Amino acid sequence: MKHRLMVIASGAALVAGLVAANTADAHGRSARAILANAEGARIGSVEFRTDDGHTEVRVRLTGAPGVDAFHGFHIHANDVPANGDGCVADPTTAPATWFVSADGHYNPTGAGHSHHVGDMPVVYVSADGSVETRFRIDRISPADLNGRVVILHAGADNYANIPLGSLPTQYTANSADATAATAKTGNAGDRVACGVIASR
């Protein structure tokens, strides 16, 4: 009887070990963020999945602001507690104050804009306010995204390739500060939607 109990216990431990191993293997292979606007209304989701050594990003939005236009779309660091945590916005204040709690682009290597770990392709908001797109990124895995933040910006991202200046193809009067600004953020503008990423 004692021998049988030991076998059962050993079998149970083996099953538990296999379950734990499978759970550990699966954990961190996907991540998700629910995006909301400054009023707190949900506008969609962004999913990240490991796919053949890359990370596939799937974006589904409805009721997004700024229709018929491209919008900057980035992963932000959310790593400065003094600025708040996650997605904090007061819709009664100026848009420039929204979601500053998410901090800057996620950029642990100190690279220039368009080479930030958190840089992603722009997304196009259709006339009905919807976005349905997917793409691959290769600088970060879902397991490393937990606690970071996805931000949808008010304007398009020039990826620091279009200089500031007075020409029609440029943005504003040129200056050292303005040039530094476009090199840092690509002139994507205010933050209009936000979602904290959770690994799964």
User: Which of the residues are catalytic?
Assistant: 74, 76, 105, 113, 116, 119, 153, 191
Q: b or e along 177-195 (b: 16 or more beta carbons within 10 Å of the residue's beta carbon)?
A: ebeebbbebbbbbbbbbbb
Tokens 């050594």 belong to residue:
53
Tokens of 192: 């209009």
d(CA 129, CA 80): 32
d(CA 153, CA 173): 22
DSSP state of 112: P
- Residue 10 phi/psi, 5-degree rounding, is -65, -40
Q: Answer yes or no: are the C-beta atoms of 191 and 99 closer than 8 Å.
A: yes
- In the chain, the N- to C-terminal Cα span, in Å, equals 42
d(CA 45, CA 30): 13
Q: Answer yes or no: are the C-beta atoms of 160 and 112 closer than 8 Å.
A: yes
